[in-house]
Each structure stands twice: as C-alpha cells, then as structure tokens.
C-alpha cells in the first residue's frame, strides 16, 4: 500500500487532548490530522508521534514543500 501525506490539517496536538474513549497507539504522545491519499481517495487521517520533535519535523516539511510524504508498506 502507498499512502501519500499531502499536508497537515491540524496539530501537533497532545494525546491528553483526546477524549478518554479515543483509541491510540501505545507510547505515542502527540498526533496530527493530515490530508492523505490512498488509492486515489483523499481523507483526513491521524498520524501519531512519540515526541513533539517528530511531529514538528513533518509540520516544518509542509511549510516549505508541496510534494507529499510517501509512505510505502503496511500502515496502521
């Protein structure tokens, strides 16, 4: 599977801001809502990060680039 991440819609945000019933991967502290494309279908998707620096790396990328981040393989 190929996922193209086209940009950040919202975030980074702390997982502490999520409702208690929201499921999230273990050991993740931050997330961002990103515009993604899979098989030609575009939708908003949560991406999870262990620390704020990882999330800011993505955010900074999209302030300077218009090309998507392409993720190959199995994505949960």
> Cα dist. 8→20, 21, 26, 29 in Å?
24, 24, 22, 17
pTM, full prediction: 0.85
Alpha-helical segments (H) within 1-76? 52-64
Q: For the chain, which residues make up each domain, given as ranges?
A: 2-16+27-72
What pLDDT digit, counting tens, does each position of 62-72 carry? Answer: 999 999 999 98
Cα 14 from Cα 50, distance rounded (Å): 10
What pLDDT digit, counting tens, does each position of 15-40 carry? Answer: 988 877 778 888 899 999 999 999 99
């Amino acid at each position: 599977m190929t996922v193209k991440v086209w940009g950040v819609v919202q975030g980074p945000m702390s997982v502490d801001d999520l409702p208690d019933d929201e499921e999230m991967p273990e050991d993740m502290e931050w997330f961002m809502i990103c515009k993604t494309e899979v098989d030609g279908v575009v939708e908003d998707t949560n991406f999870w990060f262990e620390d704020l620096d990882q999330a800011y790396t993505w955010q900074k990328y999209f302030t300077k680039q218009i090309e998507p981040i392409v993720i190959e393989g199995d994505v949960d």
